[in-house]
Amino acid sequence: MAKKEFSSISVVGQNITRVDALDKVLGRAKFTADLNRNFPGLLYTKVLRSPHAHARIVKLDISQAEKLPAVRAVVTGKDCPEKISFRAPRILALKEVIWAGEGVAAVAAESPEIAQEAVELIQVEYEKLPAVFDAEEAMQPNPPAIVDRLLGQYRGSTQFTPEAPNVTGHFKLRAGDVEKGFAKADIILENRFSTSRISHSQLEPASCIVRAESDGGITIWTNGQGVYVIKGLISDLFGLAVGKVRVINPYQGGSFGSRLRHYVEPLTTLLALKARGTVQFTYSRQEMYLAASTRLPVVTYIKTGAKKDGTIVAQQMKIIVDNGASYAAIQDGRMAASGAVCVYRIANFFMDSYGVNTNTPWAGAYRGLGTPQVAWAVECQMDMLAEKLGMSPIELRRKNVLRRGEKNAYGEIIESIGVMDCLEKVAQEIKLEEPCVQEPGPWRKGKGVAMGGKQNTPRGRSEAEVLVHEDGTIEVLYSADEQGMGSETVMAQIAAEEFRIPISQVRVRRGDTAVTPYDTFSASSFTTYNTGNALRMACQDAIRQILQAATQKMEAPLDDLALVNGKIMVKGSPGIALADLFEPFSMFTSQGGTSLKKGTPVRGRGVFAPTPAIPWDPETGLTPKMWNWYQYNACGVELVVNIETGEIKILQGVFAADMGFPINPKMCEGQIEGGFGMAIGASIMEEYIYENGLMTNCSYGDYRIPTFREMPLRRNVKAILSPDPLPEGPWGAKGIGEGTMIAVAPAIANAVYNAIGVRIKDLPLSAERVLRRIKEKEKNDQDFLHN
């Protein structure tokens, strides 16, 4: 629509101040639990949770709890709808509990204290059953325990092909001929890598308020992701009329994938329907560890064959993804496995990935959806291979990296790939070729790099609307999430750009199923791409309607007109003001007609859905379109390791990202720095520690996440934007949120190896683990000398 001669990009690509920042610094921005005071008579929820990882519920007596005054509803598994959705874990256990932390009964009462007292009056007897905590044991044909025979089948997935009772799915990739490939190899390297279970630990606990309405419907305020997805889930689970379920999404205090699964909304709805009242449920921090989503622990076996010149001729991988006790399992490990396919050119690739259930807290989406866990293996393997070949790690990667226009192992042609540029920039910035200068004392310095990519899942459907008012102000209506990544600002920028107006004239309205149009949720880093494309179409639709109205008034053909900053331009010269197109409205004399009327905004609509995947051959995994596009990144770190304590300090972090065109460069930097910080936690600090399957470190005090002090000094963190624009993205934008963790852990492990010659293949590189490996190496070195 907008013609070249009128266009000059002025708002996108700029560091526009976040539109939500003022409310947030004033303490005015409303998060879900901030709304409590709006609901007189609000009821509070507490849940009785299983201390056992696997047990039969022999007896469950809620009668004492029900008798307590001010208790308004007590529910157990028997009150839950029979339907199970893959979008949420089972609401409450029925016959068996399958992880330590699963809900057994719940209470809604007039105060949180009374609810807690009632929970303590519930009597439950368990008969402990064998449990399985290790995914490799769990996936055997005869495992020590069966988590639940039905898990994984609830999705009704056609891919469900159990080879063992705890295996939820199996994805196979068979590209080329791996045996012939290995036969050509001069060198073959085999390793096993693993990652720990970690918590999203977003600052705002999961929270929702559900009001039972007198028409039989309900209204939900929630920090869960995807208002329409929640609407669909709740109406489906409870058989409620779709038109009577309304979902509203205040600001969300982070998610990182945690709130993609809806673990508080169904239970709270159940209680609200039973109590016929308004019920609030906010998870405690302990519940955020025990009964919210977690990151998928992954074990990766990798065997790589290479020629002397570094060319990789074959790769075989087995990837085991631990879903925990998940109903919302990432079925077959395909998403995690994609991390191994999207970076390097590997013609002969044989890969199996498995989703496996265990009696541990359930796992799911977490910033990158498994790809960082698999890239952890691939990128450590690359450095180990480079060392064996006597090559620089950069040269080895340069030799094997996919280039634009080439096919990856799925058979997809890669349209946009800026990964090597990212790595070259990072390596240069941290001066990888210059050896570290060691100082006296126990601290040893080292440098390392790694790179990675994350697919964008071609899923979802995004709609957007714009209201154009007679004074030129614009309202943007959309329903994707604002978890902190800045979607409201990006949408405001997109609308301002399309209408060629200052950002101050745009107001964003978001996340209310009664007001804003359909969207799926913000996941897979696709909000800028999916919702942004829909919004561009909505803007162009509104502009078309306005220009159409202008053709009569200005007696000019549509093609000669454009809308720029509130003026209708005719072939580049201003004609009339937008305001003059809107005719005065009079209640009695000029209320009809088809012309634009003051007081009635022009409404533009846009719909965008990514081109769907092309079904792959189930035996080979080959397809010309498995995913949509890929974001890429590279990281370089300089660190010190204390050889007496095993402690690691990150001194410098350089991170380059290819996110396509950056709509807001500062916000892209924010994603990079945030992902880097989060990844430091995943790399050297964070892990679930269990006793008989019960997590014992379930508080911020015991499960430490990075603070200011674990980050390098400000001047030593560098975020580099290195875009390879994607033609079909808005102005060439792709996405950035998930990619920013991927390369960090392997860069750290590679730097640790560089510092002390100890290769660690399991995450996290906690001080205990590093020290243990240092001692093992010392012992091995001594044994070697003595023999």
Q: Which residues bind other proteins (CB under 8 A)?
A: 15, 17-18, 20-31, 33-34, 36-37, 200-205, 251-254, 256, 282, 284-285, 483-486, 666-667, 669-670, 673-678, 699-701, 705-709, 711, 713-714, 717, 719
Q: How far is CA 766 from CA 405, 487, 611, 744, 749, in A?
A: 41, 35, 43, 15, 11
Q: With respect to other proteins, which residue has the nearer C-beta, 15 or 64?
A: 15
Contact 658, 417 (CB under 8 A): yes
Contact 640, 648 (CB under 8 A): yes
Q: With respect to other proteins, which residue has the nearer C-beta, 252 or 524?
A: 252
Torsion of CA 706, 716, 714, 443, to 10 degrees: 50
We find the least distance from the C-beta atom of residue 366 to other proteins, in angstroms, to be 12
Q: With respect to other proteins, which residue has the nearer C-beta, 22 or 689?
A: 22
Q: With respect to other proteins, which residue has the nearer C-beta, 164 or 711?
A: 711
We find the least distance from the C-beta atom of residue 679 to other proteins, in angstroms, to be 9
> Which run of H or of E encompasses 25?
helix 21-26
Q: With respect to other proteins, which residue has the nearer C-beta, 101 or 458?
A: 101
409 vs 270: CA distance, rounded Å: 47
> Which run of H or of E encompasses 574?
strand 573-577
Q: With respect to other proteins, which residue has the nearer C-beta, 25 or 579?
A: 25
Sheet order of strands, 630-642 included: 443-455, 630-642, 648-658, 717-721
We find the least distance from the C-beta atom of residue 151 to other proteins, in angstroms, to be 29
We find the least distance from the C-beta atom of residue 251 to other proteins, in angstroms, to be 6
Q: With respect to other proteins, which residue has the nearer C-beta, 330 or 678?
A: 678
Q: With respect to other proteins, which residue has the nearer C-beta, 706 or 729?
A: 706
Q: With respect to other proteins, which residue has the nearer C-beta, 714 or 786?
A: 714
- CA 336 from chain centre, in angstroms, equals 12
We find the least distance from the C-beta atom of residue 480 to other proteins, in angstroms, to be 15
Sheet order of strands, 561-564 included: 561-564, 567-570, 573-577
Partnered with residue 448 across adjacent β-strands are: 637
Q: With respect to other proteins, which residue has the nearer C-beta, 12 or 626?
A: 12
CA angle (31, 33, 35) in 5-degree steps:
80
443 vs 433: CA distance, rounded Å: 21
We find the least distance from the C-beta atom of residue 169 to other proteins, in angstroms, to be 30
CA angle (40, 112, 50) in 5-degree steps:
140
We find the least distance from the C-beta atom of residue 303 to other proteins, in angstroms, to be 35
* DSSP per-residue letters across 402-465: --TT-B-TTSPBPS---HHHHHHHHHHHTTTTSPPPP-SSSEEEEEEEEEEEEEPP----EEEE
We find the least distance from the C-beta atom of residue 98 to other proteins, in angstroms, to be 27
We find the least distance from the C-beta atom of residue 321 to other proteins, in angstroms, to be 24
590 vs 587: CA distance, rounded Å: 7
Q: What are the tokens at 738?
A: 């998930």
We find the least distance from the C-beta atom of residue 681 to other proteins, in angstroms, to be 9
Q: With respect to other proteins, which residue has the nearer C-beta, 34 or 79?
A: 34
* Amino acid making up residue 127: E
Q: With respect to other proteins, which residue has the nearer C-beta, 15 or 552?
A: 15
Partnered with residue 474 across adjacent β-strands are: 468, 506
> Which run of H or of E encompasses 684?
helix 665-684
Contact 72, 56 (CB under 8 A): no
Q: What are the tokens at 3?
A: 């013609």
Q: With respect to other proteins, which residue has the nearer C-beta, 252 or 416?
A: 252
We find the least distance from the C-beta atom of residue 675 to other proteins, in angstroms, to be 7
Relative to beta strand 278-282, strand 43-49 is parallel
Partnered with residue 506 across adjacent β-strands are: 474
Q: With respect to other proteins, which residue has the nearer C-beta, 726 or 744?
A: 744
Q: With respect to other proteins, which residue has the nearer C-beta, 378 or 744?
A: 744
325 vs 290: CA distance, rounded Å: 11
Q: With respect to other proteins, which residue has the nearer C-beta, 367 or 425?
A: 367
Max intra-chain CA distance, the chain: 106
Q: How far is CA 258 from CA 87, 124, 263, in A?
A: 12, 29, 9
Q: With respect to other proteins, which residue has the nearer C-beta, 405 or 701?
A: 701
Sheet order of strands, 103-109 included: 71-76, 103-109, 43-49, 278-282, 207-212, 218-222, 245-248
* DSSP per-residue letters across 264-323: SHHHHHHHHHHHTSEEEEE--HHHHHHSS-BBPPEEEEEEEEE-TTS-EEEEEEEEEEEE
CA angle (151, 152, 158) in 5-degree steps:
145
Rg (CA), the chain: 28
Q: What are the tokens at 651?
A: 């001194």
Q: With respect to other proteins, which residue has the nearer C-beta, 234 or 485?
A: 485
* Cβ-based neighbours of 422, under 8 Å, separated by 6 or more: 451, 632, 633, 634, 656, 657, 658, 720, 722
We find the least distance from the C-beta atom of residue 208 to other proteins, in angstroms, to be 15
First and final C-alpha spacing in the chain = 79
